[in-house]
Structure 1
Amino acid sequence: MSLASQDRKPPEGSGGRGGGRLRGGFGAERPRRRRRALRWSATVLAVVIIGTAGAGYLYYEHLNGNIQKGQRSSGDDSKAQRTPANAAGQTPVNILLIGSDSRNSAENLKLGGSRDSVGAPPLADVQMLIHLSADRKSAAMVSIPRDTRVDIPKCTDPDSGKVFPATNDIINTTLARGGAGCTLATWENLTGVYIDHWMTIDFAGVVSMADAIGGVDVCVKQNVWDRSTPAQRGGSGLKLTAGTHKVQGVQALQWLRTRHAWGSDLMRARAQHMYLNSMIRTLKHQNVFTDTGRLMDLAESATKSLKVSEEIGTVKKLYDLGMELKSVPENRITSVTMPNAKDPQNSEHVVPETADANRIWQMLRDDVPFDKNGKASDTKPVASKGTPAKSPSTDPSRLGVLVRNATQTSTQSAAQGRAGEISQVLAQQGYARASADSSGTLSADSTVVQYPSADLQGDAQAVAKALGIPTSAVKQSTDVSGVTVVVGADWRTGTAYPKQAKPKAGDLPTGSDALNGSDSSQCMDVYKPYQW
């Protein structure tokens, strides 16, 4: 069965290849688009890798030599901080899984795509964060659509030394702006979640690994054939009758890259989550973890396709991660897609839906389970801790405090006059030298108080206390020259800082399309033009 190619022309106003979504959610893409990347789930492959690489102990040095490694972060000055340890001294682990669309090998090119993309920098068309809870009793998987417009920080390519300035673009371009370390830095910049590791995989390993697993069950509600139509070029070639099927090899790859037949990129993420959950159930129910031959096949295929951040670049470390993931019960694994809205600048892109996306990021930062299936002791969130309290070094009346308006979001204009309003509140609290920044508006999801050096830490904490801002929002930053209040999108009105409700276990926003790992009843709807 052949793999049809997909278009790869850069979307208008974007630096990325193949950034367009289906028009109106279900229509045709612009004509003459360059042939696009294969769409497949790096997340699926990487979970297999970290769940089965124990066979590497049989020929450890050989497999270690297969693994490619790279710098964890290539971004500039991340503000993300590690989640504090729980009472037992355990901390969560966050792993960013990245799927590269690289055509720079004969095997990858054979599986599909355009020859004119050979030699081009790869794009990160599949991105998912796997969060293992501190107690290793639950796991969360969060996808961000490839066409999400975000702020990308300054990144430096670790191989060439080329510096890419900060920009605003769709998130799949990050891999070409400093490698996986830039993608990681962009996620940290967006979410505030500290990411421990990244893993990237090219799609050539999908077929062999799917075969090594022995197939994974997937389900469609109608007959599906993802093919070229008069209105839309391309397609994965996936052809199935209605019902449940065990897919492997090329057919598994077709399932993972299908987009048109599901109606949009967002539904493709759902199909990938279904496949991933089904695969985890399959691995847990098989003897794959004790079948030496199967483990060796998986480990060989995986390590040849894998590149990881250097701190986990050995088979043993991957094996240890796999054993931690394997211990999570199926009904404690939840996959979601970042809540999003149509990009007002480009209808073919999306932007984070600020309030709902922020709730997910907070749940990750505070290690709150995405499911409600744990015991009460398992679902208690980690308490957010600020920096230790210090005494102010300067009298409030003499301390210069700059207040900046950062209430602008991707979907809302800035709330006018906020910097002036909050500087007046500070003046009433004795900060006579508080002033509003007149250099323009910024964009920040959350309000923070920043300080440049340790000698001003106590002063920044005192400013936060005067405004009712929690000490966890007091951060040291090299971006400021003095104590600075950044009024974020969470404080668009009023002079009293709004109390933030702490999320509870399973308290996910409705727009997150959550799927539980134990749910085997899910089936994909097929968009009518692709039914047969």
Structure 2
Amino acid sequence: MSLGPQDRKSPEGSGRHGGGRRRGGSTTERPRRRRRALRWSATVLAVVILGTAGAGYLYYQHLNANIRKGQRSSADDSKAYKTPANAAGQTPMNILLIGSDSRNTPEDLKLGGHRQSVGAPPLADVQMLIHLSADRKSAAMVSIPRDTRVHIPECKDPKTGKRYPETNDIINVTLARGGAGCTLATWENLTGVYIDHWMMIDFAGVVNMADAIGGVEVCVKQNVWDHPTPAQPGGSGLKLKAGTRKIYHEQALQWLRTRHAWGSDLMRARAQHMYLNSMVRTLKHQNVFTDSGRLMDLAEAATKSLQVSEEIGSVKKLYDLAMELKSVPTNRITSMTMPHIEDPQNSEHVVPDPANAEKVWEMLRDDVPFDKNGKPSATKQIASKTPAAKSPSTDPGRLGVLVRNATQTSTEAAVGGRANDISQVLAQKGYTRATADTSGTLSEESTLVQYPSADLQGDAQAVAKALGIPMSSVKQSTDVSGVTVVVGTDWRTGAGYPKQTKPKAGDMPGNTDSINGADTSTCMDVYKPYQW
């Protein structure tokens, strides 16, 4: 409302009340000043926001620059199986976690190893596959002992271009034969499981991560000191009193490296699983987003500690991945070690237990939960994994079929004459041009029927049907020139393919030494010579 002339000329304007107007201003001045104040506040706020955003952007770029990246796979070809999406369009995720024993930085050397190791190619002493189910309601962590003898495919070092021929050796040398990508390719070759990403951490990284989350709780039943003995030199140096303890810094690394005090590599894997389960529980209970200092410590430690495959090499992608992992309830997380037996070629090494290891790989490929704590999924996999049936392109009597003997296992020689036996079975069913491959024996855990191009898919399916082989085992492959039956280690005897039973949730082999993520009662037994 405007003021009249009398109001503007009032003698009160020059008196005490006029002084009040100078302090508070007229009613027309107040809106102007308020507008100026609001404009000023908005300007200051904008500067603050932009300044903070700029600092945040720079810090985000700093974290991204911390991350070291590498090629996902060092092998040219992979026959790994990608699990189809469920009805909701979700697919499982598989991440290979690798612990490197590199001593090629001052920090790593200070934490373990000898100076003679500086400059030497690192070994993958810890290898663990993290499987996140398609519905993100369960997870599994599967370790392979470092001294497991496996077939290692041909790998190419992405940095030098050097090619390493395929070989048969213990799995921890894969890191020196083409980097983490070769370790991933070896896992895919062994398990048939498609692995989406790898993540690698070194000695210093383990220490930094343990400190960043405020320590990790572990438990031992007796006082432990992993020190050199007359019978066994070396040792991690871990020294703890019995009971539940929170370990930090170098002790965290010592815990993960300890082997002698637990009695074996199998028990070392158990201790590593206990540590990771405890770390997961700790992170799930912490609300780092309300603690900026802790959040920044974690971000720094994680980005500096990890080397990752290039497709997840950004802060955002790692954050999204962490959130997916964090969503899994702890009682739906199962950690275990690959079923294995003594290597007949070297008693200090192990090889996969053929039947039981294959059962574990099948559960991973088919996304079957390792625990029984979940409800039946409402999202079945789309229709079926079975390829659509196609009509054969030619009569059985005119189709050339090659049969290969792949019944050799890591512990048993191939069954002699197996390819010839199955080719005769095919001849009795009308495939008179079926022949046995005499070029040598192979090793394949599951029997396959392979074909080179789409026009022969129907013929390959017909061959599989004649032998009783499931349609899910009919695969297109560039390794064959015609329809080929690869008789695997799952079919070492008999004329008919043995009926396969699909594993159910929680139906794991007994020799996996599994631990549930919610189990806080597990404690490590200490081997007598290392008790104090």
> TM-score under structure 1 normalisation?
0.87
Q: Is the 8 Å Cα contact of residues 208 and 305 (structure 2) preserved in structure 1? A: no
Q: CA deviation at 1:371?
A: 0.4
**Equivalent in the alignment of 1:331:** 331
Q: CA deviation at 1:56?
A: 8.7
SS at match of 1:420: helix
Q: CA deviation at 1:290?
A: 3.5
Q: Is the 8 Å Cα contact of residues 450 and 477 (structure 1) preserved in structure 2? A: yes
Are 1:223 and 2:238 counterparts? no
**Equivalent in the alignment of 1:414:** 414
Mapped to 2, the partners of 1:57 and 1:434 lie a distance apart of: 65
User: How is 1:445-456 mapped onto 2 (pairs within 5 angstroms)?
Assistant: 445-456=445-456
**Equivalent in the alignment of 1:401:** 401
User: Pairwise CA RMSD of aligned residues?
Assistant: 1.6
User: How is 1:84-233 mapped onto 2 (pairs within 5 angstroms)?
Assistant: 84-233=84-233
Are 1:530 and 2:518 counterparts? no
Q: CA deviation at 1:370?
A: 0.5
User: How is 1:282-321 mapped onto 2 (pairs within 5 angstroms)?
Assistant: 282-321=282-321
Q: Is the 8 Å Cα contact of residues 405 and 418 (structure 1) preserved in structure 2? A: yes
Q: CA deviation at 1:372?
A: 0.3
**Equivalent in the alignment of 1:365:** 365
Which amino acid in structure 1 is aligned with residue 66 of structure 2? N
SS at match of 1:64: helix
Q: Provide, for residues 121-158 of structure 1, a one-character-per-residue CA deviation record: whole Å limited to 9, x for no partner.
A: 11111100000000000000000001000001111111
SS at match of 1:262: coil
Which amino acid in structure 1 is aligned with residue 130 of structure 2? I
Q: Is the 8 Å Cα contact of residues 273 and 515 (structure 2) preserved in structure 1? A: yes
In structure 2, relative to structure 1, the CA distance for the partners of 1:311 and 1:112 (3 Å cut) is: same
Q: CA deviation at 1:291?
A: 2.1
Q: Is the 8 Å Cα contact of residues 366 and 382 (structure 1) preserved in structure 2? A: no
Which amino acid in structure 2 is aligned with residue 285 of structure 1? H
Unaligned 5+ segments in structure 1 are 1-54
SS at match of 2:253: helix
Mapped to 2, the partners of 1:174 and 1:212 lie a distance apart of: 30
Q: CA deviation at 1:440?
A: 2.2
Which amino acid in structure 1 is aligned with residue 179 of structure 2? G
Q: Is the 8 Å Cα contact of residues 146 and 171 (structure 2) preserved in structure 1? A: yes
Q: Is the 8 Å Cα contact of residues 464 and 474 (structure 2) preserved in structure 1? A: yes
Mapped to 1, the partners of 2:377 and 2:298 lie a distance apart of: 36
Unaligned 5+ segments in structure 2 are 1-54
Mapped to 1, the partners of 2:77 and 2:371 lie a distance apart of: 33
Q: CA deviation at 1:217?
A: 1.2
Q: CA deviation at 1:441?
A: 1.7
Which amino acid in structure 1 is aligned with residue 375 of structure 2? K
In structure 2, relative to structure 1, the CA distance for the partners of 1:325 and 1:382 (3 Å cut) is: farther
Q: CA deviation at 1:453?
A: 2.2
Which amino acid in structure 2 is aligned with residue 82 of structure 1? K
In structure 2, relative to structure 1, the CA distance for the partners of 1:382 and 1:416 (3 Å cut) is: farther
Q: CA deviation at 1:465?
A: 1.2
Q: CA deviation at 1:100?
A: 1.1
Mapped to 1, the partners of 2:60 and 2:276 lie a distance apart of: 27
Q: CA deviation at 1:218?
A: 0.7
In structure 2, relative to structure 1, the CA distance for the partners of 1:417 and 1:439 (3 Å cut) is: same
Q: CA deviation at 1:58?
A: 8.2
Q: CA deviation at 1:524?
A: 0.4
SS at match of 2:461: helix
Mapped to 2, the partners of 1:74 and 1:399 lie a distance apart of: 37
Mapped to 1, the partners of 2:383 and 2:423 lie a distance apart of: 30
SS at match of 2:261: helix
SS at match of 2:282: helix
In structure 2, relative to structure 1, the CA distance for the partners of 1:332 and 1:409 (3 Å cut) is: same
Q: Which has the higher contact order (CA 8 A, sep 6+)?
A: 1
User: How is 1:414-493 mapped onto 2 (pairs within 5 angstroms)?
Assistant: 414-493=414-493
Which amino acid in structure 2 is aligned with residue 103 of structure 1? R
Equivalenced residue count is 478
SS at match of 1:404: strand
Mapped to 2, the partners of 1:211 and 1:379 lie a distance apart of: 40
**Equivalent in the alignment of 1:503:** 503
In structure 2, relative to structure 1, the CA distance for the partners of 1:56 and 1:523 (3 Å cut) is: farther
**Equivalent in the alignment of 1:350:** 350
Which amino acid in structure 1 is aligned with residue 241 of structure 2? T
Q: Provide, for residues 69-101 of structure 1, a one-character-per-residue CA deviation record: whole Å limited to 9, x for no partner.
A: 111111131101210001111000000011111
SS at match of 2:288: coil
Indicate the percent of aligned positions where both proteins have the same amino acid.
Answer: 82
Q: Is the 8 Å Cα contact of residues 69 and 313 (structure 1) preserved in structure 2? A: yes
In structure 2, relative to structure 1, the CA distance for the partners of 1:379 and 1:218 (3 Å cut) is: farther
Q: Provide, for residues 8-29 of structure 1, a one-character-per-residue CA deviation record: whole Å limited to 9, x for no partner.
A: xxxxxxxxxxxxxxxxxxxxxx
Q: Provide, for residues 490-509 of structure 1, a one-character-per-residue CA deviation record: whole Å limited to 9, x for no partner.
A: 11111111111111000110
Mapped to 2, the partners of 1:379 and 1:170 lie a distance apart of: 39
Q: Is the 8 Å Cα contact of residues 104 and 118 (structure 2) preserved in structure 1? A: yes
Q: Is the 8 Å Cα contact of residues 219 and 244 (structure 2) preserved in structure 1? A: yes
Single out whichever of 358-367 and 462-471 deviates more from structure 2.
462-471
Q: Provide, for residues 475-498 of structure 1, a one-character-per-residue CA deviation record: whole Å limited to 9, x for no partner.
A: 122222211101111111111111
In structure 2, relative to structure 1, the CA distance for the partners of 1:389 and 1:379 (3 Å cut) is: closer
Q: CA deviation at 1:197?
A: 0.5
Mapped to 1, the partners of 2:203 and 2:123 lie a distance apart of: 12
Q: Is the 8 Å Cα contact of residues 60 and 315 (structure 1) preserved in structure 2? A: yes
In structure 2, relative to structure 1, the CA distance for the partners of 1:449 and 1:530 (3 Å cut) is: same
**Equivalent in the alignment of 2:31:** none
Q: CA deviation at 1:384?
A: 5.9
In structure 2, relative to structure 1, the CA distance for the partners of 1:277 and 1:158 (3 Å cut) is: same
Mapped to 2, the partners of 1:143 and 1:167 lie a distance apart of: 21
> TM-score under structure 2 normalisation?
0.87
User: How is 1:49-60 mapped onto 2 (pairs within 5 angstroms)?
Assistant: 59-60=59-60
Mapped to 1, the partners of 2:364 and 2:445 lie a distance apart of: 15
In structure 2, relative to structure 1, the CA distance for the partners of 1:383 and 1:361 (3 Å cut) is: farther
Mapped to 1, the partners of 2:117 and 2:341 lie a distance apart of: 30
Single out whichever of 235-244 and 363-372 deviates more from structure 2.
235-244
Are 1:387 and 2:400 counterparts? no
In structure 2, relative to structure 1, the CA distance for the partners of 1:332 and 1:465 (3 Å cut) is: same
